[in-house]
Amino acid sequence: MEYFLMDQDTRTLAGAGVDYRDAGFLGSEPFVTWLDFDEETKLPDFLQGEQRGRAIFCVSDEMKEILDNYGCLKETVPVFLTDTQYREQKVYWKIEAEEADCLKQDWFADKQHMTFESEPPKGRYLFQAGNIKKKYLMVSLELAENLLRRHMYGIQFYPVRRRSGDGTL
């Protein structure tokens, strides 16, 4: 199975206003977090951040529905992104996926140059993996294609290379 790293598209800066320091992101209870947006603001379907070295991944209600069909989520917590002026509220989901230790531990590898050091988990459509710097969400080719067909907004995919048995790429 071929995999891709799923990342928030940096060109969609509307999601940059999320304050991942909110204590709710570390808990397992539904919570409200505040942003400055209105009903015309288009938020990306995928948001990611970090708090205390822990990766945080949030998806829109529409994207969660697709992920639920693949049965690949370990835990979900509703996050209510609410405008500070109370003009709009959007439901997002903080998601957790199974973790796999299969990425090459490389200090200088960026998201465009990730390599699997060992075989990724068989049959998983989505899982979490990391290198020394950061945790990432990995998605199968099938799931990536499905998300693209549904016109999910604000997502980028980067191919992840595999090492062959003899150590070559």
- Compute the C-alpha angle 73/74/76, nearest 5°: 75
For residue range 101-113, what is the model confidence (pLDDT) as tens digits?
998 877 777 888 8
Q: Is residue 114 part of a domain?
A: yes
Answer for the pair 163, 115: CB distance below 8 angstroms, yes or no.
Answer: yes
Structural domain boundaries enclosing 52: 3-162
Q: In this prediction, what percent of the chain has a pLDDT beyond 90? A: 56
Q: Is residue 167 part of a domain?
A: no
Q: Is position 155 within any domain?
A: yes
The answer as to whether 65 is a domain residue is yes
Specify the number of domains making up the chain: 1
pTM: 0.88
Render pLDDT for 144-156 as a digit per residue (tens, 0 to 9): 999 999 999 999 9
Which amino acid is present at 115? T
